[in-house]
Amino acid sequence: MADTPDRVREVMESVKNLHVLATVDEDGKPRMRWMGALVEDPDEPWTFYLACGAESRKMAQIGQNPNAQLLFSQTDEWNVATLSGTAEASQDAEIRQMMWDSISAIHKYYEGPDDPKMGVIKFKTQSMELLARHERREPYHLDL
Protein backbone atom coordinates (compact mmCIF):
# COMPACT_ATOMS: atom_id res chain seq x y z
CA MET A 1 0.00 0.00 0.00
CA ALA A 2 1.53 3.31 -1.11
CA ASP A 3 0.66 5.21 2.06
CA THR A 4 2.24 2.64 4.42
CA PRO A 5 5.12 4.94 5.47
CA ASP A 6 2.70 7.76 6.31
CA ARG A 7 0.46 5.42 8.27
CA VAL A 8 3.46 3.98 10.15
CA ARG A 9 4.51 7.52 11.10
CA GLU A 10 0.95 8.21 12.32
CA VAL A 11 1.15 5.22 14.66
CA MET A 12 4.58 6.31 15.91
CA GLU A 13 3.39 9.85 16.59
CA SER A 14 0.17 8.74 18.27
CA VAL A 15 2.12 6.77 20.87
CA LYS A 16 4.73 9.52 21.23
CA ASN A 17 7.40 7.14 19.91
CA LEU A 18 7.03 4.75 22.88
CA HIS A 19 8.21 1.45 21.46
CA VAL A 20 9.61 -2.00 22.04
CA LEU A 21 13.18 -2.70 20.92
CA ALA A 22 13.86 -6.31 19.96
CA THR A 23 17.42 -7.64 19.74
CA VAL A 24 18.97 -11.10 19.51
CA ASP A 25 20.97 -12.51 22.42
CA GLU A 26 24.11 -14.65 22.29
CA ASP A 27 21.99 -17.83 22.14
CA GLY A 28 20.01 -16.57 19.15
CA LYS A 29 16.91 -15.87 21.24
CA PRO A 30 14.89 -12.66 20.83
CA ARG A 31 14.97 -10.13 23.66
CA MET A 32 12.49 -7.27 23.91
CA ARG A 33 12.22 -4.24 26.13
CA TRP A 34 10.17 -1.05 26.31
CA MET A 35 12.02 2.07 25.25
CA GLY A 36 10.95 5.68 25.41
CA ALA A 37 12.57 8.30 23.30
CA LEU A 38 14.04 8.10 19.87
CA VAL A 39 15.21 10.73 17.44
CA GLU A 40 15.14 10.48 13.65
CA ASP A 41 18.26 11.43 11.74
CA PRO A 42 17.49 14.71 9.95
CA ASP A 43 19.60 13.65 6.95
CA GLU A 44 18.61 9.97 6.73
CA PRO A 45 14.86 9.27 6.80
CA TRP A 46 13.96 6.09 8.68
CA THR A 47 17.26 6.08 10.59
CA PHE A 48 16.72 6.55 14.32
CA TYR A 49 18.87 7.03 17.40
CA LEU A 50 17.98 5.59 20.80
CA ALA A 51 19.64 6.32 24.13
CA CYS A 52 20.42 3.61 26.64
CA GLY A 53 23.07 2.55 29.11
CA ALA A 54 26.43 2.09 27.40
CA GLU A 55 26.99 -1.15 29.34
CA SER A 56 23.44 -2.50 28.90
CA ARG A 57 22.64 -5.98 27.63
CA LYS A 58 21.01 -4.52 24.53
CA MET A 59 24.27 -2.80 23.55
CA ALA A 60 26.17 -6.07 23.95
CA GLN A 61 23.55 -7.96 21.96
CA ILE A 62 23.68 -5.42 19.12
CA GLY A 63 27.47 -5.75 19.12
CA GLN A 64 27.11 -9.49 18.51
CA ASN A 65 24.14 -9.43 16.14
CA PRO A 66 22.95 -6.20 14.49
CA ASN A 67 19.47 -7.48 13.55
CA ALA A 68 16.80 -5.57 15.45
CA GLN A 69 13.20 -4.38 15.35
CA LEU A 70 11.22 -1.47 16.72
CA LEU A 71 7.53 -2.05 17.44
CA PHE A 72 4.95 0.70 18.03
CA SER A 73 1.45 -0.28 19.17
CA GLN A 74 -1.60 1.97 18.99
CA THR A 75 -4.05 0.06 21.15
CA ASP A 76 -7.17 2.19 20.68
CA GLU A 77 -7.45 1.12 17.01
CA TRP A 78 -5.06 -1.83 17.21
CA ASN A 79 -2.60 -0.52 14.68
CA VAL A 80 0.86 -2.05 15.06
CA ALA A 81 3.85 -0.67 13.19
CA THR A 82 7.06 -2.69 13.05
CA LEU A 83 10.37 -1.45 11.70
CA SER A 84 12.95 -4.12 10.89
CA GLY A 85 16.58 -3.29 10.30
CA THR A 86 20.05 -3.20 11.75
CA ALA A 87 21.42 -1.51 14.83
CA GLU A 88 24.88 -0.46 15.90
CA ALA A 89 26.49 1.61 18.63
CA SER A 90 27.23 5.21 17.69
CA GLN A 91 29.92 7.37 19.27
CA ASP A 92 29.35 10.35 16.95
CA ALA A 93 29.65 13.55 19.03
CA GLU A 94 27.11 15.44 16.91
CA ILE A 95 24.55 12.67 17.30
CA ARG A 96 25.12 12.53 21.06
CA GLN A 97 24.57 16.30 21.25
CA MET A 98 21.43 16.01 19.11
CA MET A 99 20.08 13.36 21.50
CA TRP A 100 20.92 15.54 24.50
CA ASP A 101 19.17 18.54 22.96
CA SER A 102 16.12 16.61 21.72
CA ILE A 103 15.19 14.38 24.67
CA SER A 104 14.50 16.24 27.89
CA ALA A 105 14.16 13.06 29.98
CA ILE A 106 17.71 12.04 29.08
CA HIS A 107 18.97 14.68 31.55
CA LYS A 108 17.62 12.54 34.42
CA TYR A 109 19.92 9.67 33.54
CA TYR A 110 23.14 11.17 32.20
CA GLU A 111 25.42 14.07 33.07
CA GLY A 112 25.70 15.35 29.51
CA PRO A 113 26.28 14.28 25.90
CA ASP A 114 29.85 13.25 26.75
CA ASP A 115 28.83 11.03 29.69
CA PRO A 116 30.48 7.65 29.04
CA LYS A 117 27.50 5.93 30.70
CA MET A 118 25.24 7.08 27.86
CA GLY A 119 25.05 4.67 24.95
CA VAL A 120 23.54 5.57 21.61
CA ILE A 121 22.03 3.03 19.24
CA LYS A 122 21.75 3.86 15.55
CA PHE A 123 18.86 1.94 14.00
CA LYS A 124 18.60 1.86 10.21
CA THR A 125 15.21 0.70 8.89
CA GLN A 126 15.29 -1.84 6.06
CA SER A 127 11.59 -2.70 5.98
CA MET A 128 8.37 -1.77 7.69
CA GLU A 129 5.08 -3.46 8.36
CA LEU A 130 1.72 -2.10 9.36
CA LEU A 131 -0.92 -4.31 10.89
CA ALA A 132 -4.27 -2.50 10.96
CA ARG A 133 -6.46 -4.99 12.83
CA HIS A 134 -9.69 -3.11 12.09
CA GLU A 135 -9.09 -3.62 8.34
CA ARG A 136 -9.16 -7.42 8.77
CA ARG A 137 -6.48 -8.17 6.20
CA GLU A 138 -2.86 -9.22 6.04
CA PRO A 139 -0.29 -6.66 7.22
CA TYR A 140 1.07 -4.13 4.74
CA HIS A 141 4.79 -4.75 4.17
CA LEU A 142 7.27 -2.40 2.50
CA ASP A 143 10.99 -2.94 1.88
CA LEU A 144 13.02 0.24 1.78
Q: Are 48 and 38 in contact (CB under 8 A)?
A: yes
Q: What are 4-52's pLDDT values in tens digits?
A: 899 999 999 999 989 999 999 999 999 999 998 899 999 999 999 999 9
β-sheet bridge partners, residue 85 = 68, 125
Contact 11, 130 (CB under 8 A): yes
Domain range holding 76?
4-143
Reference 81, options 70, 91, 90; nearest CA is: 70
DSSP count for the chain of H helices, then E strands: 3, 8
Residue type, 33: R
Q: Give pTM, 2 decimals.
A: 0.92
When divided into structural domains, the chain yields a total of 1
10 Å Cβ neighbour count for 62?
Answer: 24
Task: Report helix, strand or coil for 7.
Answer: helix
Q: What is the CATH number of the domain that holds 56?
A: 2.30.110.10
Interval 53-77 mean pLDDT: 94
Say how far apart CA 116 and CA 114 lie, in whole Å: 6
70-117: per-residue pLDDT in tens?
Answer: 999 988 778 999 999 999 999 999 999 999 999 999 999 999 999 999
